[in-house]
Amino acid sequence: MNIKKAFITTLGTAAILGAGIFAGTTSANADVRVTVKSGDTVAKIANQYNSSISAIEKANNLKNVNLIYVGESLEIPNATSASTTSTTSATTTPSQSTTTTNNTNTYNAANTTSNYSQQSSNTASTGTTSSASTATSTSTSDSSSAKAWIANKESGGSYTASNGNYYGKYQLSKSYLNGDYSAANQEKVANAYVSSRYGSWAAAKAFWQANGWY
C-alpha cells in the first residue's frame, strides 16, 4: 500500500480583475525565500519559480519533499523572480457598420440592479453555447475516467477494501473518514482530498503514474 501524505486544505484565493489592465513581466535569477501557503507543494513552488524539486530539497534539507507545512519558509535556489509592470489600455468605441455581426454587450456597473442588455445573433449564441457544453462534457469525462482508474489501482473499486490504516475504494486514511465508512462519505472525502492536493482527478492520476501513489 502506498503511503498517503497529509493534505493541506486549499483556501479560496480572491482574484481581483482590473478593467483594461495588462501585465508584463521581467525576470532575473536569484536565490529567494518563500513562505508556504495553503495548497502549495514542492513541485508547485519549483514550477512557479523555475527551480527544481531536487534543488529545493537539498537547499532546505527536506526529509520528505511531499510533506511541507503552511507558514514554513523555504529557500528557492536559482529562482526566477518576476517584476510586474502595468499599462492601462484606453477604451475605444468601434464605429457602427450596417454589415457588422458583432455582439453588443452593455453593463451598468454603478448599480447592481441595472439592466444587462445583449444584442446577439442566434447563430453566434448557439455556437458559443455548443462550444462551452462540449468543453464541459470533455472535462467531466476525463475526470470521471481518471477517478475510476485510481479507484481500480487502489482497491479494485471496492468500498470495503482494507489495508491497515487505509480503507475503502480510494484507500483513504481512516482518520480522513472520521469513522464514517459509507460509500457516500468515501466519495465526498476523496473528492475533497484530490481537489485540495492536486486540483483534479486527472492531475492526481498523472502523479500516481509518476510515483506509484497519490
Structure confidence at residue 142 (pLDDT) = 87
* CATH topology assigned to domain 138-211: Lysozyme (1.10.530)
- Give the Cα separation of 147 and 3 in Å (integer): 18
**117-143: per-residue pLDDT in tens?**
455 455 555 555 555 555 556 678 889
Structure confidence at residue 13 (pLDDT) = 35
- CA distances to 11, 17, 110, 193 from 14, rounded to whole Å, are 10, 10, 22, 21
- Domain with residues 28-87, CATH architecture: Roll (3.10)
- Give the Cα separation of 199 and 124 in Å (integer): 32
Show me where the domains of the chain are located: 28-87, 138-211
- CA distances to 37, 45, 58, 76 from 52, rounded to whole Å, are 18, 9, 10, 9
Q: Do 28-87 and 138-211 have matching folds?
A: no
Of the ranges 11-25, 84-98, 146-160, which one carries the lowest mean pLDDT score? 11-25
**171-212: per-residue pLDDT in tens?**
999 999 999 999 999 999 999 999 999 999 999 999 999 999
Confidence band of 11 (pLDDT split at 50, 70, 90):
very low
**What pTM, to 2 d.p., does this model score?**
0.39
